[in-house]
Amino acid sequence: MKKPSQLSLSPATRTAQALHFINPVHGAVVPGIEPASTFARDGDYMPIGNAVYARDGGPTVEHAEAILADLDGAASSLLFTSGMSAAVALFETLEAGDHVTCPIVGYHGTIGWLHRLVEKRGVKATFYDATQDGALAAAITPDTKIVWIETPTNPNWDITDIAEAAELAHAAGAKLAVDCTVASPCTTQALELGADIAFHSATKYMNGHSDITGGVLSLSETGPFADELRMIRTLQGTVMAAFEAWLLIRGLRTLHLRFERASESAMAIAKHFENHPKLSAVLFPGLPSHPGHAIAARQMTNGFGGMLSLVALSREAAHHVATHTQVFIPATSLGGVESLIEHRIAVEGPHSVVAPELLRLSIGIESVSDLIADLEQALENAP
């Protein structure tokens, strides 16, 4: 009998099956947890498997990293205890005098850490306006080592052309790192578009259940740079623990379904509120009226994600809405199954330039009609 040809499976199928996991000993179809902190050696004092000590990783972490590398089309992926620990490890490769670019509006933790490096370590940084044509190109200098972009940016959801940014970075001899937290690999393949590093806060869509923190650096190449990042992670002790890695694997198996639902609901909400009399703007790259819509449609190929922002008519109105929803939960974070609302200025750091009227929404998997009704009733009595 002719042996059947190997099927070419989609990322959604591979992820849902945790890379077609079947335990070779007893046939379980759910990956187990290996919580050991140390691993024995054989009679020749060689490691029995890949693991030696949990600060370097372990079997459960390696399985999660393999799924993430497959999702991102990466040569390798490294898991960290949080998104910030992953970003800190990346910026730890910079030396005094090195230069990095970063959007002026973006995740406040990244911006805050870069300000610290400028003040404490002699690193140079340029914070550019991602809404202005040519701003990124003007921000890059001969000393630039990392071009950091975030697309869509948090919480204004501005769009940067990844392929164009890669050309600019590589022409300057720099590496392009893309914060893909909002645009998961379900919809954006940053490495395929030319990025060297795809960063994710695994706390968000990757896990999707608001019960772990984690960070990911997916790398386009192996070699000295990847080895340095792994060494930094080991020395800092910031590898993800086995239980959190197991929870991440569980969350990843439903990533495509959750992201699809959140994207569809966010689009419906954005369209419903686009010309609402109690709002001055709706910020969502899926709307044709969004300035970055054409680029977003080109590089976000499977939905625009579940993040959008509503701009109220005043700071007081935004505060009222954030404190009077009945379905949306007033809490930080994003990408979970539950919908969240934030009066963003209240949680940003001292370098924030976010509009005080802005409400950041993370759309979950609830009934979209319930979410729309909840926002309507909160807006109804807003000052």
Which sequence positions are flagged as catalytic? Answer: 55, 107, 179, 204
How big is the chain, counted in residues?
383
Domains identified in the chain and CATH numbers: 11-252 (3.40.640.10), 255-380 (3.90.1150.10)
């330039």: which residue's tokens? Answer: 353
Instruction: Give the tokens for residue 77.
Output: 């992926």
Task: List, as one string, the DSSP characters of 242-308.
Answer: HHHHHHHHHHHTTHHHHHHHHHHHHHHHHHHHTT-TTEEEEE-TTSTTSTTHHHHHHH-BTB--SEE
For the entire predicted model, the pTM comes to 0.95
**Share of the chain residues as helix, strand and coil, in percent rounded to the nearest 5:** 35, 15, 50
Contact 176, 198 (CB under 8 A): no
Closest of 296, 282, 341, 76 to residue 180, by C-alpha = 296
Residue 350: what pLDDT? 76
Residue 1: what pLDDT? 64
Which portions of the chain are predicted below pLDDT 50? Answer: none
Q: What is the dihedral of CA 315, 356, 263, 373, to 10 degrees?
A: -10
